[in-house]
Structure 1
Amino acid sequence: MKRISDHFASVLAYVAGLSLVLMMVHVTLDVVLKYFFKQPIPGTAEVVAAYYMIGTVFLPLAYIEVHNRPIVVELLYDRLPQGLQRPLDVLATILSIAFYAFLAWQSIKIALTALENREYIDGVWKVVVWPSRFLIPLGLLAACAALALRLMTLLTGGKAEHGHAETV
């Protein structure tokens, strides 16, 4: 199960990376065409905001959780005895699952409404955005699955693998 989770999280992270590269190319091309040829790419801002940014932000969440590499603040944790660290790891994982699940639930409702209304942004071009609304719950639910695996590991006596988290 862990291998499948790792693989799925990696695929989502690669898609997020591709989204970032496409965003850079799209925006750069739009700027070049706009300032050198007076022909900007219609709908650039809409596509960037509705697709590229959402993919870049939400799709890699599972990868971050699978590798246990979120940004953390450890004021006291490292100074606590091992006997207290495990329950705190369990509590933090449960709270993270609850937070991601709540956001996923809300974003699924928004995505379904967008699908029902065939949501689009009207500008120079009509940009269909309802499909992008499903990227948010996809990323959040994948993060929930990764955290659920971590929770099972913690509850069965295993140790959560700590990546090289950015510590503040």
Structure 2
Amino acid sequence: MQPDRGAAPAGQLDDLDRRLLSVLAEDAAVTNKALADRLGLAESTCAYRVRALREAGVVTGTRAQLDLALLGYPLQAIVKVRLGSHTMANVNQLYAALAAAPGVIQAFHLAGADDFHLHVAVEDAAALRDFVLRHVTTHRVVRQTETHLVFEVRRGAGVLDRPA
């Protein structure tokens, strides 16, 4: 049996790295023991590999998934934002302000007709209107917004389920 070489650099992940990442992506709070048992690894190998993946920057953190409705934010929407001016300073300043606005889950800077998409969660329709009026259209570079209600969110397959 060959000695474990540790996690491969980003872009050169081996099958074991991908299997570890797949389990961690599904349950970031899994214990090292449970992770090792699930993958049939020694706990020390598992801990070493996960540490190496973190040090390589492949694993950048862990997050709790929250039930937004139970927290009082049952309404989700995608707010599309188009700009009238595209200077570097305007784009960077607006992007920072949009991402920092209360209720923003994710902010996407895009190529194409829309410049930004904001995934937001709010209390109700009035709060959604107020969000757009207070945190989006108040910026002088915003030319147009379009808001779409989110009926349901499902997690996608992600990149780890694709063949290497």
TM-score bin (small chain): under 0.3
Query: Which is bigger in relative contact order (C-alpha 8 A, separation at least 6)?
Result: 1
Higher strand share: 2
Higher helix share: 1
